[in-house]
Each structure stands twice: as structure tokens, then as C-alpha cells.
Amino acid sequence: MTHPVAVIGAGPYGLSTAAHLRARGVPARVFGAPMVSWREHMPAGMLLKSTPAASSIDAPQPGHTLLDYCQAAGERRYESDWDVIPVETFARYGEWFQERLVPELEQVRVVSVDRRTKGRHPGGSDFELKLDSGEQFTARAVVVATGLSGLAYLPPELAPAAPDGPSATGSLSHSSQHRDLSRFAGAHVVVVGAGQSALENAVLLAEAGAASVRVVARGRGAVRFGTAPDGQPPLRPETPFGRAWSLYALTYYAEGFRHLPPPTRKFLVKRVLGPLGAWWLRDRFIGRVQVTEGKRIVRARVEDGRPVLTLAGADGPASELTADHVMAATGYRVDLAALGFLGHDLRARLAVSADGPRLDAGYGSSIPGLHFTGLPAAASFGPVMRFVCGTEYASPRVARAVAGLGG
């Protein structure tokens, strides 16, 4: 009997992988809430930093780009590098992609994945899955495409300001916990971080009527904005992220990344395409958001119901900052321990390299039949895997490898 392949995740990576498996005639069951990170864990009114050319979910057949969606749905056409895409449009595009190419999606959670112990396939790659509907079934391969889910990162020095964990209604939250920022009208808010998410949340908070918004960033000169499309260097190759030779290699030759030494890969995943505000955010930011740069948060506490941050810089004494709320826009980190649905035995056996699962050319881990795509694949295939456009590289390769595993 041929068991299906299980794809866990219905964001851009899971949907794209599922569409490629379907096109190859590989029976697959696909699980997750479609585009949930975009619908529920990003602020309303957010604009994508990626350009329209870099914001399509890869499909095995033509007709499924962001622009195809805009035309089909009668939405404004997002096509030039000057067009900035609202998160609401992108979420609708993902749902349209799902309805057309992955109609069999099952909107349930996978509770656990374990290796099947009895009656295993001679290849040894069968998995036992439990769903939150109570169903159990066997899959011959599993593709983990759970993206950002469960990987929000809170620096340990901030944790004491959220004794019960970060929450949108408490003293301290993670940026992923917000959809509607209007609750902060009239409030004094500190945003920690200097990436696009920190800077854009700060602007959206100010525009939502916050009494004051201050960005606190560790590095001196950390708050920076990118270059508009007409300011890109002309003699360098074009990539979805701008013009640069390094980005060209990382985008189109991602396979080579796997062969770099682990410390180099860790460095590149962290630094390339690192914290930088979008060019179009600068004018909305300046004059509205206050900035404290070159200061490290060394402690955080709650006093009289308000969060208090202790800041230390290279020069001068430590200072304190009090607010009504602190939002940590401190990003996401791959942490295999946070993928709680993966059985203990599987996690213990997974070979790890550069803080991610060690993957082969088909995105397969050290456990035959267990594949990872999207964010956890960045340690092997580079920073492009953190972005939607990475589906173009990843999905055909994952599908080819999984199809090749045979029934």
C-alpha cells in the first residue's frame, strides 16, 4: 500500500511544495491554516518589503503569480518595483493560490510525528502522524513547512518584564502577537529592534495614535533605510532583493551555500539581508518616531504595572526607560526544540548544522523521508529561504526528491 506524503504547513512554502507534489502526481495530505502568519501575525496596514517580482509563490505551471492573481481578482496590478504590496492583498493571493492548486488542504493541526515502529517499509521511511481531529495515519515522507510558527524570539533580558510570557495585552509583547494596533492609541510604546518589522510597527503605532513611540536599537546607526529602485547600482546583476553580485549568487546558486563551513553559513544567514527599513518607510518614520541607538537593554522589569528597561551604552551611565508597553520586534530563530510536534526520538536523531537541520540537495534531513523547507532550510540553502521568493528554488527540489523516494 502506498502511503501519502504529509506536508505540514499552508503558508507560501507548504502550499508551493504541495502544488509541485500534485503536479508530479504524488499523493499528499496537506495540513495547516492557510496564510495564517500573514493574516494573524502581522499588523493590519503592513506593506511588504519585497517587490512584486519577489513576491510570487512558486507554482509548477504558469498562471499563479501575484500579478495573475491581481488580474483574476480585479485588484490593483502590483508589478513595478515602485509598487508596494499591502499584506491583506498578499494574504488573499495566498488563499487564491491554495484554492486553485491545493484544494485538498486540511485545516487541522498535526499534533505529533513519530517514526513508525511496526511493519515499517523496507526503506525505513514511514512516519506515524496524529492530527488534532484525533485521526492517526501513516505517511511515507513528511515535509515540514511550519515557517514562523512557534519560532518568535524574545531576548532573555526582556523576559522578566513578561513573567507570564509575552502578550499583546500585557506589559511586553512580541511583534507577532499583533494584528490591530489601534489598542495603543494614547499609549507610550517602546519598540525593540531595528529591522523592517520594528520600524514599520513603530510607524503604524504612531499612525494609530500612540502618544509616543520610541525605537530602541543596539547598534549605533542601526536605524537605516534602503535605496529606492532608481538608486540601485546599474552595473550589478538584478536579483529579487536588489542589484548585487553576492545576492545573485545566494539567490540562483543556493546549492553552493550548503558546502560553506557552518560558522560562515551562520554569519551569512544573520547578516545578509539583515535589519534595514524599506526605502518607502523613511518619510513616514522621520519626525514621528523617536530613536535610542547604541544602547543595550541589560534588564527589564515591571513597576507599578508599567515596563521599565535599563539601558547601557559604551559611554555614560546606565539609564532607564519607562513605557506603557514594550513591543519586542526581535525576529524569529530556528529552534528545533520549539517544533514540539516532532517526536522526541526524531528530534534527538536529527543531525544539526549551523543551528538548522543538516539537509541534502533535496532538502532531506539525516532521517530518511523527513524534509524541511522555508526558514529551517536557511542554515543549508542560505538567507533566500527566509523569503517568499525562495519557494522558486526550494519547492521543485523538495518535490523531486520526495517523488524519487518511491512508494
Ligand X SMILES: Cc1cc2nc3c(=O)[nH]c(=O)nc-3n(C[C@H](O)[C@H](O)[C@H](O)COP(=O)(O)OP(=O)(O)OC[C@H]3O[C@@H](n4cnc5c(N)ncnc54)[C@H](O)[C@@H]3O)c2cc1C
Residues making contact with ligand X (CB under 6 A):
8-14, 31-33, 36-37, 42, 48-50, 55, 109-110, 145-149, 197, 341, 374-375, 386-389
Q: Of the two residues 12 and 382, which places its CB atom closer to ligand X in the complex?
A: 12
Measured distance CA(140)–CA(105) in Å, rounded: 18
Shortest separation between residue 325's beta carbon and ligand X, angstroms: 18
CB burial class (10 A; 0-12, 13-18, 19+) of residue 57? buried
Residue 282 grid coordinates = 523613511
Q: Cβ(299)–Cβ(316) under 8 Å? A: no
Measured distance CA(67)–CA(64) in Å, rounded: 8
Shortest separation between residue 48's beta carbon and ligand X, angstroms: 3
Shortest separation between residue 365's beta carbon and ligand X, angstroms: 16
Shortest separation between residue 381's beta carbon and ligand X, angstroms: 13
Shortest separation between residue 5's beta carbon and ligand X, angstroms: 14
Q: Cβ(385)–Cβ(399) under 8 Å? A: no
Q: Of the two residues 321 and 388, which places its CB atom closer to ligand X in the complex?
A: 388
Closest of 178, 196, 195 to residue 187, by C-alpha? 178
Shortest separation between residue 308's beta carbon and ligand X, angstroms: 27
Q: Of the two residues 37 and 239, which places its CB atom closer to ligand X in the complex?
A: 37
Q: Of the two residues 125 and 177, which places its CB atom closer to ligand X in the complex?
A: 177
Residue 309 grid coordinates = 528597561
Q: Of the two residues 170 and 374, which places its CB atom closer to ligand X in the complex?
A: 374
Q: What kind and span of H or E run contains 346?
A: helix 344-349
User: CB under 8 Å to 53, separation ≥6 — which residues?
Assistant: 79, 81, 240
Q: Of the two residues 11 and 307, which places its CB atom closer to ligand X in the complex?
A: 11
Q: Of the two residues 12 and 275, which places its CB atom closer to ligand X in the complex?
A: 12
Shortest separation between residue 372's beta carbon and ligand X, angstroms: 10
Helix (H, G, I), strand (E, B) or coil at 211: coil
Q: Cβ(57)–Cβ(389) under 8 Å? A: no
Query: Rg of the Cα trace of the chain?
Result: 22
Shortest separation between residue 406's beta carbon and ligand X, angstroms: 25
User: CB under 8 Å to 87, separation ≥6 — which residues?
Assistant: 38, 42, 43, 44, 45, 46, 47, 48
Q: Of the two residues 147 and 382, which places its CB atom closer to ligand X in the complex?
A: 147
